[in-house]
A = this chain, B = another copy of it.
Amino acid sequence: METMMRASVLTGPQTIELQERPVPEPGPDEALVRVGSVGVCGSDVHYYKDGRIGSMVVEGPLVLGHEVGGTIIAVGQAVDPTRVGERVALEPQRPCRRCRPCKTGHLNLCPNMEFFATPPIDGAFCDYVTLPADFAHPVPDSLSDAAVGLLEPLSVGIWANRKGGTVAGSRVFITGAGPIGAVAALSARAMGATDIIVSDPAESRRQRISELASARSVDPTAGFDPSEVEADVFLECSGATPALLDGLKALRPGGSAVMVGLGDEHVSLPLQDIAVREVTLTGIFRYVDTWPVAISLAAGGQVDLDALVTARFGLEDVEAALTSDSDPMSMKSVVVVNEDS
């Protein structure tokens, strides 16, 4: 067993260094995981480019990456030792388990949460990570390493649709045909939505998402009247304020809007219209209990995560991976840490 490992570290503004670090040791309830594949998330890009997301600020060296698949290579004393060798998807959160949110089904809102790649907690652009063993979810061999990592963004899509109340027969309106819009649409489809409409100004992206998720698509800049949509659920996945305003108009009375993409800090909203139509507006933050369903959907073929991957990089090229989203047709870049995890 090695004692040192590679870690790709954000050491300063837009500066990534490949460093040597000690391999971490699993605590009693933890698993040590050899990292296979890690997807690149918009939040990684934000920390790399801006050094912060809202009130969360990078103040020291930070390992990014939280969309992780790998293999358990050791476990703590309180963990079933037969789990060594298991291929797993990592749920990258470590809630306290003792606060009221944790004990009532809202662990995503735990005030003591430690979350991968959120300052000052390190993420997974490195060879080995530890995590609570119950947050390492076993996956079938039929899923590729990249797909295992992308169960994390799929979880975001599932959680967004749960918050929005997507059910069989729902009409779901999605703004933004990037990676978040894609997992939102794929999740909506898997949850039984029978009409999914994605709005994006770029034709090439509209075309791609229509194929990926059996969605209709619309160009918001070309005479589109959102008030004719009458959606049950609206998932804002672009971060663009005009998209948010479109989506609110696109909802039927009593419909639900969910902010999934990170948008402007303050936005002027048509509150009287929201009130008299009893529209509901909320956002999402992490997720609760999404891996079991995400794994089932991916393993059962309802969702094809490999189709989302548009570029692959090695651990030595994390910086290139973090800037690869400048291509508007980029969907998901993946860092392959260990080929044969």
Chain A residues with CB under 8 Å of chain B are 29, 54, 97-109, 111, 132, 134, 158, 161, 163, 167-169, 187, 190-192, 194-195, 244, 253-254, 259, 262-285, 288-289, 292-293, 296-297, 300, 302
Contact = CB atoms under 8 A, between A and B. Distances in A.
- Chief secondary structure at chain A's binding surface: mixed
Given A168-B158, A191-B192, A289-B103, A271 B266 contact: yes
B281 A100 contact: no
A161 B107 CA distance: 25
Contact of A278 (B102, B253, B273, B282): B282
A280 B278 contact: no
A272 to B, nearest CB: 5
B267 A271 contact: yes
A170 to B, nearest CB: 8
Given A101-B253, A168-B190, A284-B278, A267 B265 contact: no
A313 B267 CA distance: 44
Given A109-B254, A278-B109, A293 B194 contact: yes
B105 A104 contact: yes
A302 B191 CA distance: 12
A245 to B, nearest CB: 10
A108 B288 CA distance: 18
Give the interface centre of A169, A190, A195, A264 by most chain B CB atoms within 10 Å.
Answer: A169
A284 B275 contact: yes
B192 A108 contact: no
A261 B81 CA distance: 42
19 contacts: A54-B272, A97-B97, A100-B292, A101-B253, A194-B296, A194-B297, A194-B300, A194-B302, A195-B296, A244-B271, A259-B274, A263-B271, A266-B270, A267-B268, A268-B269, A275-B284, A276-B285, A278-B282, A281-B281
Contact of A272 (B29, B101, B132, B263): B263
B292 A283 contact: no
Contacts of A292: 100, 169
Given A106-B253, A259-B274, A279-B283, 13 more contacts: A54-B276, A97-B97, A103-B289, A161-B168, A168-B192, A194-B296, A194-B297, A253-B285, A262-B272, A265-B270, A266-B269, A271-B283, A276-B285
